[in-house]
Structure 1
């Protein structure tokens, strides 16, 4: 995903050209109408004179826009303000004498009327005010665009971060688990072909779930449970009776949406570090309950348990660490993993996801 550049240079667009032409036409017509009404000048003459006036003004404003808005778009506001102070005076003087010159060249000054030259100071001041208003509006619009680009960039970065977190979690299927499973399949191909076929099917289902959920930010809890059961069936094939599993899940939460593969690292950690190292094995108990305004997840094992030097807050292990970071970013600090001893032995890992 590409992010928008915050200091993007203002561009000439079709929409911008159409809006400029529209406001130029409206301003010209209103000015011509006002001139006709106040000075009793035929509308066609007022329109021709006003078109010359606004055309020169537009030409100079476009030049100023290219210089101060487009070319110097990365300059500080103070630099732009100082330049506008100088440019506004040059613009006003250049417009006034350009208009006199062009009007004399096309129509003749005798048709302009003495009021224009007699009120030179007021007319130039009015033009100066028009310059200030036009470029104040332009800079306000550009500032709003910059704010919108910043908001868009922040949203895109947040979305990118979320997708990367999910992708990291989905990549947590431990390579050792894959190697062990493939070795078990290889050992069963000749002696137990039916078991080998079942293991291949389950491994295929796991990989398909991982791929299918890649672009999803959430999945139903029921799908996650099926994925975990498939994983545990493969591990039971390898560990045999040493691995026992019990589920205690409320039926009411099975359609609750959760980030995909959020529970698998916890279960894998319990198998790998809790049950597998013990010759006698142990039991994994997966509990998912809804209480008040949250769904509580617990993975408890009767395995090796926490060592004396273990510090739960460290969330040792890449899988648990990534899971904890994702939970905190998505649901806040209260959703963080809690790792504690499971009495009478083993380890218990829990977290909660708010329902609203």
Structure 2
């Protein structure tokens, strides 16, 4: 029997909805920017409604302001160099861009996310009324009386012509790197010829940070190449399977069933080698790769030679998965 362990790592990032604020105006002493707003895109048209698929804060609402949250654009309409905090609505200098959240409990979540509504008339252009330059997009938190906190989340955008862009050039809304390791072991049975399995590349599989995909977070990647060589007399055939452990970070974990794959035979000098069946992530149903699944195999009378095997990996996890770097071990067995 020949076994290899592979560790997969991913960074699960929290999704937060929020309001981005303007960067030109000075804030009053009692107002504070307590974090940033992350966007689903780094640039776009000021005429799009909504101008973003989603906006998310980098933290929860302050205590006492957990009933609602609003996504706004801040504009120095009075031209006095100051955007007054929206503590006594209505405020002509913070204009709504998206639906106001009103489910409560926003001080106990890791972030707040505001999703845009397709076709909304609340475009940047209708709010800016021809203004160009730098503006803040903000996420403000609201009390039970729907009074806004003076503390807010904000990101600065630049409007030029009919387009907007994040002022610092933008980037991946989930920029933290993902890390992973891969342990490889091989047992070779001695006899007339040998059956061996080796793992190529750097012994690591690093999946990109999962992104919001409907009702789940998803990520895709590729298995490191697996090479099975059979020089045994009589061509007895062989079978390669794999099973993944649970994914764990320093503080949280999730089931290995959320990992699936699509196996393939990349190349082979042997005859009769076929890939295993595709296995979907067990997000809605099924057990994914938490149970032993076939990567490839060769029936008796075939398989003599060298075969390179691969698989496309697919990860689908719940949206409330805690942020962190998760690692799992994928154990490959050839017999």
Higher helix share: 1
- Which category of TM-score, normalised to the shorter sequence, fits these structures? under 0.3
* Greater RCO structure (CA 8 Å; 6+ sep): 2
Larger Rg: 1
Q: TM-score scaled by structure 2?
A: 0.23
